Structure 1
Amino acid sequence: MTDKRFGALILAAGFSSRMGKFKPLLSLGDELVIERVLKVSKSVGIKDIVVVTGYKKEALVPIIRRQGAREAFNPDFEKGMFTSIQAGAAAMPSDLDGFFIMPVDCPLMTGAVLEGLIGQFEEDRFCVPCYRGKKGHPLLVPITYREEIICHDGTNGLKAITDRDPEKMKRIEVDDEGVVMDMDTPQAYEEIKAYLSRGCRSESLTALAAGRRFFLIRHGQIRQHKEKIFLGQTDVPLSGEGRQQAAAAAEKLASIPLQTDRIYASDLLRASESAQIIAQHIGEKKLIMEPGLREMNLGPWDGKFISQIKQEYPEEYQRRGRDLMTYKMGNGSENFFDLQYRVVKTLIKILKEDQNRDLILVAHSGVLRAVSNNLRGKDIAEPWDKLGNGQMETIDRI
């Protein structure tokens, strides 16, 4: 480490409602999740470790004490994670240089990542690890923000502070997928255990795609609105022209000898309708609707007229124009790197389950950009020849 002093704020107060089991006490290898996060904190010399408790605190306190950490009980834990962050920040010594915020449900944080963030520390900037552009955990917070966090009224949570000025967020790219893996659901927990069993190595899209042929088809045109809208996961049907575009794509596909018995599509209406039309033209194909192929989630902007966005969020709209790849429109929304991570994970899952040579994907522009660029060894931020409605791109990895 350096001569600077850092603390660790470990969040372990929640109900674990989506998981169904109390996450801090789940096993990873030969240790509990809470033990793993505590040990990683100590491995880089951190001595000021605070674990915020709430639900089932009595089960955690003996472990916390045994590991030499301190407990900060959050009586308001039912009100959400930010109240736990505030409780932990209040328990942090004010003479530290900074502290890590470490959600216990992100247990794959490593000492190497923590040391990397410490090495990049600046006293007026947040520091966050990113995997292929996607922000992960832990967040390193300068102590100068401690009082503001404690006194904040909770509106928009921690993001109200961290996202206020993009220049104050230092993004550190790491070759470690573990920083973006959480265990909010049983499926995610199984993915984390599988990742550990592989020696913390990510699955290779390149290897899985070898010998395959991909047909990427953008959905047909949607029913037109009186003016242009921000369209992400808002569900809208095809127009008459859009149905014709899907049929034209099907005719092109029908002229190709295909080695597959299925079509994968986003489950949003404009893509699923397009896939159904294509299936009708190319013979009996099983339709598999895949939520992981949905377009980007645009949060509170989704489905609104662009003129309305410009009027209601003028500064945010300008900022999105400057930071197109990374900007997010509030809690629950996605940026391009979030979309890429979700889509590539979905594609890897499909390739592992489907042994057919050919894959037909009917989806959206952002999704197909992620698929096409990644199959070509590129990133979503790199240029892509955008497909028009009903157009098809073929990628041959045979």
Structure 2
Amino acid sequence: MRSKQLKPSSSEVAATAPAPCAALVLAAGRGRRFGSDKRVAPMADGQTLLAATLARVQAQFDQVWVVIAGHDDAQALGVPPAVKVVRAQQAESGMGASLAAGIAALADSPCEVAAVLLGDMPWLAEGTLARLREAATAQHIVVPECQGRRGHPVLFGQAFWPELAQLQGDQGGRVVLLAHPPALRVIEVEDPGVWRDVDTPADLLGR
């Protein structure tokens, strides 16, 4: 049985100013199930999938970093100039390697929280991102939950960055999350965008 986690009220969260937060968008994978490089797949508005995701998070975070593979062409992927690029040389080994590379790049950042997102989630509501930011601190891990299902982004306080930087292969941030139940803050949202992503071309169709 899953233990019940702290779900702070809006008044409790708003009592202090949000901690400086960087968005870390993981986009080193091409998406094999998609059949082609889904990062450059066009959406209905003409934007590519990755570009649309980056545009959404740029409006809400102090810094935005995108993790791509060492051989990727950031310009061809539509990465805006204001977005910082991290190259994960071991990206082929799994998401854990990409996440570790991204966290390592934040070492000199003034931010105290890293919001880990996937590069194929352009439907996240800006209001959801703002609520999660408000709940984040350097000592907590913040996770959104919609209709009983948890999703992304997961916001990791700086206290957990050393563990994230040690991840390898297919190990994801869930390993760190499960190791620190008392630090977890689950925020209930009415936003299916927290778990809606793109695995096949059909997923790009409208709601």
TM bucket normalised to smaller: 0.7 to 0.9
Alignment root-mean-square deviation, CA: 2.2
Q: Secondary structure at the match of 1:118?
A: helix
User: Which residue number in structure 1 is paired with residue 93 of structure 2?
Assistant: 79
From 22, 36, 42, the equivalent of 1:27 is: 42
CA distance in 2, matches of 1:154, 1:135: 23
Higher helix share: 1
Matched, 1:194 2:206: yes
User: Which residue number in structure 1 is paired with residue 155 of structure 2?
Assistant: 140
CA distance in 2, matches of 1:16, 1:132: 26
Q: CA deviation at 1:59?
A: 5.1
What code does the residue aligned with 1:15 have?
Answer: R
Q: CA deviation at 1:67?
A: 3.9
1:331-390: CA deviation from partner (whole Å, max 9, x where unpaired): xxxxxxxxxxxxxxxxxxxxxxxxxxxxxxxxxxxxxxxxxxxxxxxxxxxxxxxxxxxx
Q: CA deviation at 1:155?
A: 7.5
Larger CA Rg, structure 1 vs 2: 1
Matched, 1:183 2:198: yes
What code does the residue aligned with 1:34 have?
Answer: L
What code does the residue aligned with 2:51 have?
Answer: E
- Greater RCO (Cα-Cα under 8 Å, separation 6 or more): 2
Q: Is the 8 A contact 2:26 2:116 kept in 1?
A: yes
Q: CA deviation at 1:179?
A: 1.1
- Residues 78-117 of structure 1 correspond to what in structure 2 (within 5 A)? 78-92=92-106, 93-117=108-132
Relative to structure 1, the CA distance from residue 83 to residue 56 in structure 2 (aligned partners, 3 Å threshold; closer, same or farther) is: same
1:233-254: CA deviation from partner (whole Å, max 9, x where unpaired): xxxxxxxxxxxxxxxxxxxxxx
What code does the residue aligned with 1:63 have?
Answer: G
What code does the residue aligned with 1:97 have?
Answer: E
What code does the residue aligned with 1:194 have?
Answer: G
Relative to structure 1, the CA distance from residue 18 to residue 60 in structure 2 (aligned partners, 3 Å threshold; closer, same or farther) is: farther
Matched, 1:151 2:166: yes
Q: CA deviation at 1:156?
A: 4.0
1:306-353: CA deviation from partner (whole Å, max 9, x where unpaired): xxxxxxxxxxxxxxxxxxxxxxxxxxxxxxxxxxxxxxxxxxxxxxxx
Structure 2 spans left out of the alignment, 5+ residues: 1-13
1:173-219: CA deviation from partner (whole Å, max 9, x where unpaired): 111111111112233x24xx221xxxxxxxxxxxxxxxxxxxxxxxx
TM-score, normalised by the number of residues in structure 2: 0.82
Q: CA deviation at 1:152?
A: 3.8
Q: CA deviation at 1:167?
A: 2.7
1:247-285: CA deviation from partner (whole Å, max 9, x where unpaired): xxxxxxxxxxxxxxxxxxxxxxxxxxxxxxxxxxxxxxx
User: Which residue number in structure 2 is paired with residue 43 of structure 1?
Assistant: 59
Q: Is the 8 A contact 1:94 1:143 kept in 2?
A: no
Q: CA deviation at 1:107?
A: 2.1
- Residues 184-333 of structure 1 correspond to what in structure 2 (within 5 A)? 184-187=199-202, 189-190=203-204, 193-195=205-207
CA distance in 1, matches of 2:81, 2:170: 34
Q: Secondary structure at the match of 2:32?
A: coil
What code does the residue aligned with 2:122 have?
Answer: P
What code does the residue aligned with 1:184 have?
Answer: D
Q: Is the 8 A contact 2:146 2:192 kept in 1?
A: yes
Relative to structure 1, the CA distance from residue 148 to residue 141 in structure 2 (aligned partners, 3 Å threshold; closer, same or farther) is: same
TM-score, normalised by the number of residues in structure 1: 0.44
Relative to structure 1, the CA distance from residue 61 to residue 42 in structure 2 (aligned partners, 3 Å threshold; closer, same or farther) is: same
CA distance in 2, matches of 1:172, 1:186: 30
What code does the residue aligned with 1:180 have?
Answer: W
Q: Secondary structure at the match of 1:21?
A: coil
